[in-house]
């Protein structure tokens, strides 16, 4: 018996079963494998969506942890590193307090000028 025919007549083409063509079978296997791989990547990416704010907080926390480890290595202990951090935070707070107080005062003054353009003067009596 001859090859399987896909149709009859002048335009008939012989159908090649995939079992008889190892090159075609391998090409289809590769295509299936690639498609399955890409589908798996899409599914994995969709299952672990990341929030940019959360990632930023995570990176900042990692950097702070790295800095604390470096301080501990320089000072010889975590206690010494903690003292250095405490000292630097207290100095920063002392320097920032007057600046923050002045900024709050300026903001309060600006708000009062916007809400009362006369500078706090009472309106003239219309009588």
| pLDDT tens-place string over residues 41-62 | 988 888 877 788 989 999 999 9
Q: Are residues 2 and 42 in the same domain?
A: yes
CA-based nearest residue to 64, from 89, 91, 97: 89
Tokens standing for residue 102 = 């002045």
Judge whether residue 125 has pLDDT over 50: yes
SS3 14: strand
Question: In angstroms, rounded to a whole number, what is the distance separating the alpha carbons of residues 16 and 27?
Answer: 15
* Total structural domains within the chain: 2
The pLDDT confidence band at residue 28, using thresholds 50, 70 and 90, is: confident
Q: Are residues 29 and 70 in the same domain?
A: no
Buried-exposed string 18-41: b where 16+ CB fall within 10 A, e elsewhere? eeeeeeeeeeeeeeeeeeeeeeee
* Residue 3 is assigned to a structural domain of this protein: yes
* Residue 81 is assigned to a structural domain of this protein: yes
Q: Are residues 72 and 95 in the same domain?
A: yes
Q: Are residues 85 and 34 in the same domain?
A: no
């Amino acid at each position: 018996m001859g090859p399987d025919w896909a149709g009859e007549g002048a335009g008939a083409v012989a159908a090649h079963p995939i079992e008889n063509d190892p090159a075609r079978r391998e090409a289809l296997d590769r295509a299936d494998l690639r498609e399955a791989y890409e589908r798996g990547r899409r599914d994995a990416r969709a299952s672990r969506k990341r929030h940019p704010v959360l990632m930023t907080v995570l990176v900042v926390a990692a950097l702070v942890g790295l800095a604390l480890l470096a301080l501990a290595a320089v000072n010889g202990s975590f206690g010494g590193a903690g003292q250095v951090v405490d000292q630097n935070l207290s100095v920063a707070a002392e320097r920032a307090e007057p600046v923050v107080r002045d900024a709050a005062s300026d903001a309060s003054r600006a708000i009062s000028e916007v809400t009362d353009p006369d500078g706090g003067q009472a309106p003239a009596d219309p009588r």
